[in-house]
Amino acid sequence: MKKKNSVLALCTMLLAICFSGEAQQTEKVRRIGFLDASNASDSTVLLETFRQELSKLGWIEGKNITIEYRFAEQKLERLPELAADLVRLKVDLIVVSGGPTPIAAKGATSTIPIVMTSFADPVGAGLVDSLARPGGNVTGNANLSPELITKRLELLKDAVPKLLRVGVLWLSAGGIGQDLQLKELRLAALELKLKLEEIETQSDPKGLETAFQTVKRKQVNAIMTTAGRPFFAQRKRIIELAVKYRLPAIYYEKEFVDEGGLMSYGPDSADLYRRTAVYVDNILKGAKAADLPVQQATKFEFVINMKTAKQISLTIPVDLLARADKIIK
> Which residues sit opposite 165 in a β-bridge?
195
pLDDT band at 180 (very low <50, low <70, confident <90, very high): confident
Phi-psi region of 260 (alpha: psi -120 to 50; beta: other; left: phi over 0): left
Separation CA 282–CA 92 (nearest Å): 12
In the predicted model, what is the mean pLDDT of residues 160-185? 86
Separation CA 50–CA 209 (nearest Å): 34
Of 257 and 43, which is predicted with more confidence?
257
Q: Find out whether 180 and 145 touch, Cβ atoms under 8 Å.
A: yes
3-class secondary structure, 142: strand
Which of 216, 211, 218 lies closest to 245, judged by CA? 216
Q: Find out whether 85 and 108 touch, Cβ atoms under 8 Å.
A: no
Question: Per-residue DSSP letters for 84-112?
Answer: HHHHHTT-SEEEE-STTHHHHHHHH-SSS
For residue range 237-296, list pLDDT tens digits in order. Answer: 999 999 999 999 999 999 899 999 999 999 998 999 999 999 999 999 999 999 999 999
Q: Find out whether 264 and 301 touch, Cβ atoms under 8 Å.
A: yes
Radius of gyration of the chain (CA): 24
Separation CA 149–CA 155 (nearest Å): 10
Residue 7 has pLDDT above 80, yes or no: no
In the predicted model, what is the mean pLDDT of residues 6-13? 50
Which of 68, 58, 50, 32 lies closest to 276, judged by CA? 50
Mean pLDDT of all residues in the chain? Answer: 90
Q: Find out whether 155 and 302 touch, Cβ atoms under 8 Å.
A: yes
Separation CA 289–CA 268 (nearest Å): 23
pLDDT band at 145 (very low <50, low <70, confident <90, very high): confident
Q: Find out whether 38 and 72 touch, Cβ atoms under 8 Å.
A: yes
CA angle 315/317/323 to nearest 5° reads 130
Q: Report CA torsion sign: 286, 140, 255, 235.
A: positive
Which of 107, 236, 225, 127 lies closest to 174, judged by CA? 225
Helices assigned H by DSSP within 174-264:
175-191, 205-217, 229-233, 235-244, 254-258
Q: What is the pLDDT of residue 98?
A: 83
Residue 236 has pLDDT above 90, yes or no: yes
Q: What is the pLDDT of residue 2?
A: 46
Residue 202 has pLDDT above 70, yes or no: yes
CA angle 219/224/226 to nearest 5° reads 130
Greatest extent of the chain over all pairs of C-alpha atoms, in Å: 98
Separation CA 142–CA 121 (nearest Å): 7
Query: Which DSSP state fits 293?
Result: P
Q: Find out whether 171 and 201 touch, Cβ atoms under 8 Å.
A: yes
Q: Which residues have C-beta within 8 Å of that of residue 84, sequence separation ≥ 6?
A: 108
- The full length of the chain comes to 329
Phi-psi region of 126 (alpha: psi -120 to 50; beta: other; left: phi over 0): left
Domains of the chain (ranges, CATH numbers): 28-144+268-299 (3.40.50.2300), 145-267+301-328 (3.40.50.2300)
pLDDT band at 105 (very low <50, low <70, confident <90, very high): very high
